[in-house]
Every structure is written in C-alpha cells, then in structure tokens.
Amino acid sequence: MIRVYSIRHQRGIGMIEVLIAVLVVSIGFLGMAALQAKALSTNNSAMARSMATIASYSILDAMRADIVNAGTGAYNGTVAAGSCPATGGTLASSQLNAWCNQLGAALGAVASTTGAINCLAASPTSVDCTVTIQFDDSRAGKAGTTGGTGIQTVVTRAGL
C-alpha cells in the first residue's frame, strides 16, 4: 500500500521556523547590547579610578617639591571639589587649589568628590603621606553596595 501525503498539511511550517529563528536571534542581540552597556560602564569606572590615582600622584609630586611645608603639615586637610579652597599666598595653598580643581575636572566638581591629605614627618628629610580620594562611582552600577551609595575610595601612601 502506498501512502500519499498531502501538501496541505505542510503549509506554514517554514514560516513558523523563520519566526522562531528571528526570536532566537533577537534574544541574542539583546544579550549583546546588555553586555556592551555593562562593559562601557565598567570601563568608565576603571577610568575614574585611574584618574584618582593620577591625581594622588600629582599632589604627592607637588609635596615632594615642597617637602619642608609637607613635613610641617601645611598640606594636611580635606578639600571638596564642589568648593575648592581659595589660592592663598603660600605654595601649599596654591598647590591645594590646583589639585582640588584637578579632582573636580577629572572626577566631577561635586561635594562627594573629596581629597584628604595626612602627612607626618618621619625625620627631617623624610615625610610619610597618605592621600585619600573619594568620588561617586554610581556610573559603574554599584549603587547600594556601600551604604546605599556608589562612593569609591582610592588611598595612596607614599614616603616623600
């Protein structure tokens, strides 16, 4: 006995296969877009941490050039990039003003961007300094990980 299959039962099967293939490809493209967005945000976060490290080395080099005042604590204190201290008549005050403006330009001139310096004279020719920079890193998608904010802290310790 020979069976003859009707072509009527096969109609529309090709269209369903195409629709399923389009659905699978669409989900793949959405996954790639999400991956690209995450890569972009983490890359921005890494750039901000690099800029904070560069800024800490910048003020350390400035203090190295003015080691006497660094040893006496002329640079000690905290600056906020949202309200930089005025430039005074000393080298330390003008360096702190320039550093504060650098922090604001690189990490955002807001109150949450701060830089703190603590230097102690270990000897007449040696000064131990700690530079702490805090900035908002919520662009990395880490909001809520540090007490509800995305505050990132970079600490650099060096001997002058």
Which is more confident, 32 or 126? 32
Sheet holding 151-159, edge to edge: 77-80, 114-123, 126-136, 151-159
Angle at Cα 89 formed by Cα 88 and Cα 94, nearest 5°? 55
Residues 108/135, Cβ–Cβ less than 8 Å: yes
Q: What are phi and psi of 30, to 5 degrees?
A: -65, -40
> What local confidence, expressed as pLDDT, does residue 118 receive?
95
Grade residue 42 by pLDDT with cuts at 50, 70 and 90: confident
Residues 95/75, Cβ–Cβ less than 8 Å: yes
> Above 50 in pLDDT, residue 146?
no
> Token pair 């949202």 is at which residue?
82
Q: What is the rounded CA–CA span in Å between residue 51 and residue 103?
A: 8
Which is more confident, 82 or 4? 82
> Above 70 in pLDDT, residue 140?
no
